[in-house]
């Protein structure tokens, strides 16, 4: 029997809970003080002699690995099919690398351009634009760049298409004069010997496509970049393009006309009299030709103006400069009816503001559809939950029947029923409720979208409410009535509060599905019943403005998350149940 000892704090001369804690610590391998004359407890061992703690830890780790392997396929599927597309969408909404990657020289030259001056930039910018657009046209990228800038300024796409075809004329002016001087200036081999490293030329000659695979990478001759910097740069770009993109050997492929333009510019600025390498005499003769009074030259700015007068407008250069950074807020600004200008961020013209209206319409109509689904679905769910099981199961088949029919078929059926010569109007006229010359307009407007989408989404509201209502004990209602409550009081004070979690679950499900629908609004909505999702689909499939589509999708996703957060703060997401 335990006894109390001492006049200080009371202690027990017997087993205490602390002893159990000390024993547990000993099992974990920790040193403990001897207690009541007992020595240090030895760690407990498993059957194979391994310390029990280590063995348990190993078994737990193996169990976690087995669990991870079981969920790995689902986890990979979610990452690939859900997370990765969302991340890509978020990136595309701010990515703008095409301008900087396609016109790198122009972007650099425009850094000193005063966009507020109202003047076109200087000759250096037009020179940079010539080389950039020329190379982009050879790579078939100029139309993509024009399409991107056309989102910000109408007409830019056609401007770049015309320029891609017309810039050859500038280089041909110099090419023809050099060719008239010496025909070798229009041949592949002399150019390769002038610009290429001798070892590369030997490797290229010995290269066999069937045996050696890819061509030897082009290398410039030593010192040629110092002597002819522009020519070396653009010949190297041409040579690598011919090798990689076209699979042609620079020894057999004539260089671009832009290379001849670069040669003229180099010869006009440098002294080649000391050059003694391959083609020295031909190069010196070309230098003398360039210095002669009769040599014909082209002004880049005037040449661009001849191709299209749009290049002489400051607006095109302002647009290129505004959207030259690799990351931009332009897509998000467009998504909220704003734009970037030389004066800063501003609202678009009144007749161009469409996305704000679409967002408001999407939210409003989704709320109306959710409310109509609650009004129609609650009585059905109540009836199903209070009928005998056999009868309820038969009626549940009718609720689930729409899932066995194609969404497109159901929507098309509503289009037939709702039109002015459709079934509903014909019935109303036959009953005398509507005059034949005053048939109701229920299609290609918001009413048509609300009716069709309420029908389509109604099962998603009924099922959560039914699953919750079927778990409400019926004796609660009987108890309330036995205490004198009326049918209305019993329903409103006892039954309805217990069904609210089902309403919440159905509302979230229906609302989120509604704001993302685009097939049904596209078929029955006309111009006034479409959602923001229809515009997103248009930019993805038709206009190919994926950046704006991504920005609109990101805003829509953010709106859903904000509403979900607000719902959680007001109602509490823990109160949402799907049954049980």
Residue-level pLDDT at 575: 58
Q: Between β-strands 4-5 and 344-347, what pairing exists: parallel, antiparallel or unpaired?
A: unpaired
300-321: average pLDDT: 92
Residue-level pLDDT at 18: 52
Residue-level pLDDT at 1: 43
Please determine, for residue 198, whether its predicted confidence score (pLDDT) is greater than 70.
yes
- Angle of CA points 117, 118, 123, to nearest 5°: 85
Q: What global pTM score does this model have?
A: 0.77
Residue-level pLDDT at 67: 86
Nearest to 327 by CA among 108, 96, 145, 548: 96
117-129: average pLDDT: 91
Joined together, the tokens standing for residue 274 give 């000391």
Is the domain 355-575 a CATH 1.10.10.10 member? no
Question: What is the tens place of the pLDDT at every residue in 214-239?
Answer: 889 999 999 999 999 999 999 999 99
Residue 397 contacts by C-beta under 8 Å, 6 or more apart in sequence?
none
Residue bearing the bigger pLDDT, 145 or 51 = 145
The DSSP line for 409-469 is HHHHHHHHHHSTTSHHHHHHHHHTSS-GGG----SSSHHHHHHHHHHHHHHHHHHHHHHHH
What is the C-alpha to C-alpha distance for residues 502 and 509, in angstroms, rounded to an integer?
Answer: 11
Question: What is the tens place of the pLDDT at every residue in 507-565?
Answer: 988 999 999 888 999 999 888 899 999 999 999 888 889 999 999 999 998 988 888 88
- Asked whether 434 and 442 are in contact (CB, 8 A), the reply is no
Please determine, for residue 3, whether its predicted confidence score (pLDDT) is greater than 70.
no
Residue 577 — pLDDT band, cuts 50, 70, 90?
Answer: low
Question: What is the tens place of the pLDDT at every residue in 13-69?
Answer: 555 545 544 554 555 444 444 444 455 566 777 667 777 777 788 888 888 888 888
Residue-level pLDDT at 101: 94
Q: Sketch the domain layout of the chain as residue ranges.
A: 22-29+50-85, 98-326, 355-575
402-408: average pLDDT: 87
Q: DSSP class of residue 215?
A: P
Please determine, for residue 579, whether its predicted confidence score (pLDDT) is greater than 60.
no
Instruction: Tell me what the pLDDT averaged over the chain comes to.
Output: 87
- Asked whether 96 and 548 are in contact (CB, 8 A), the reply is no
Partners of 339 in beta bridges: 346
Residue bearing the bigger pLDDT, 405 or 133 = 133
Question: What is the tens place of the pLDDT at every residue in 413-468?
Answer: 999 899 988 889 999 999 988 888 888 888 899 999 999 999 999 999 999 999 99
Maximum Cα interatomic distance, the chain, rounded to a whole number of Å: 125
What is the C-alpha to C-alpha distance for residues 28 and 477, in angstroms, rounded to an integer?
Answer: 56
Residue-level pLDDT at 34: 47
């Amino acid at each position: 029997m335990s006894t109390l000892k001492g006049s200080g704090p009371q202690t027990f001369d017997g087993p205490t809970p602390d002893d159990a804690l000390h024993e547990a610590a000993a099992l974990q391998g920790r040193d403990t003080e001897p207690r009541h004359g007992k020595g240090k407890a030895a760690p407990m061992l498993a059957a194979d002699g391994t310390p029990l703690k280590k063995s348990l830890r190993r078994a737990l780790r193996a169990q976690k690995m087995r669990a991870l392997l079981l969920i790995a396929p689902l986890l990979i599927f979610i990452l690939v099919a859900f997370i990765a597309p969302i991340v890509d969408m978020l990136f595309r909404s701010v990515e703008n690398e095409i301008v900087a990657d396609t016109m790198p020289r122009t972007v650099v030259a425009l850094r000193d351009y005063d966009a507020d001056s109202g003047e076109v930039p200087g000759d250096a910018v037009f020179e940079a634009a010539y080389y950039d657009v020329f190379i982009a046209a050879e790579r078939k990228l100029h139309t993509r760049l024009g399409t991107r800038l056309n989102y910000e300024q109408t007409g830019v796409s056609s401007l770049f298409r015309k320029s891609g075809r017309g810039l050859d004329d500038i280089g041909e002016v110099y090419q023809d004069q050099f060719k008239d001087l010496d025909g070798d200036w229009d041949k592949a081999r002399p150019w390769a010997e002038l610009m290429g490293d001798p070892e590369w030329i030997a490797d290229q000659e010995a290269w066999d496509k069937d045996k050696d695979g890819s061509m030897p990478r082009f290398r410039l001759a030593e010192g040629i970049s110092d002597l002819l910097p522009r020519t070396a740069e653009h010949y190297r770009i041409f040579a690598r393009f011919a090798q990689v993109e076209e699979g042609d050997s620079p020894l057999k492929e004539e260089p671009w006309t832009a290379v001849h333009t670069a040669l003229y510019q180099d010869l006009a600025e440098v002294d080649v009299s000391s050059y003694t390498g391959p083609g020295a005499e031909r190069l010196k003769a070309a230098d003398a030709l360039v210095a002669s009074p009769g040599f014909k030259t082209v002004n880049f700015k005037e040449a661009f103006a001849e191709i299209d007068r749009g290049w002489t407008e400051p607006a095109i250069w302002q647009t290129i400069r505004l959207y030259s950074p690799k990351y931009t807020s332009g897509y998000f600004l467009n998504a909220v009816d704003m734009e970037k200008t030389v004066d800063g961020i501003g609202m678009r013209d009144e007749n161009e503001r469409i996305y704000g209206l679409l967002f408001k319409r999407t939210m409003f109509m989704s709320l109306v559809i959710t409310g109509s689904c609650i009004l129609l679905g609650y009585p059905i769910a109540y009836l199903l939950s209070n009928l005998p099981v056999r009868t309820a199961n038969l009626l549940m088949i009718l609720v689930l029947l729409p899932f066995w029919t194609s969404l497109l078929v159901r929507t098309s059926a509503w289009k037939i029923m709702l039109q002015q010569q459709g079934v509903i109007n014909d019935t109303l006229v036959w009953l005398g409720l509507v005059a034949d010359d005053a048939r109701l307009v229920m299609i290609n407007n918001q009413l048509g979208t609300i009716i069709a989408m309420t029908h389509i989404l109604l099962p998603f509201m009924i099922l959560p409410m039914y699953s919750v209502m079927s778990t409400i004990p019926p004796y609660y209602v009987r108890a309330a009535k036995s205490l004198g409550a009326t049918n209305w009081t019993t329903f409103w004070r006892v039954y309805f509060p217990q069904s609210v979690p089902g309403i919440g679950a159905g509302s979230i499900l229906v609302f989120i599905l509604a704001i993302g629908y685009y097939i049904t609004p596209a078929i029955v909505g006309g111009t006034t019943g479409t959602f923001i999702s229809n515009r997103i689909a248009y930019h993805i499939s038709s206009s190919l403005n994926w950046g704006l589509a991504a920005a609109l999708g990101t805003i829509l996703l953010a709106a859903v998350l904000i509403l979900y957060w607000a719902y959680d703060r007001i109602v509490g997401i823990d109160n949402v149940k799907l049954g049980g």
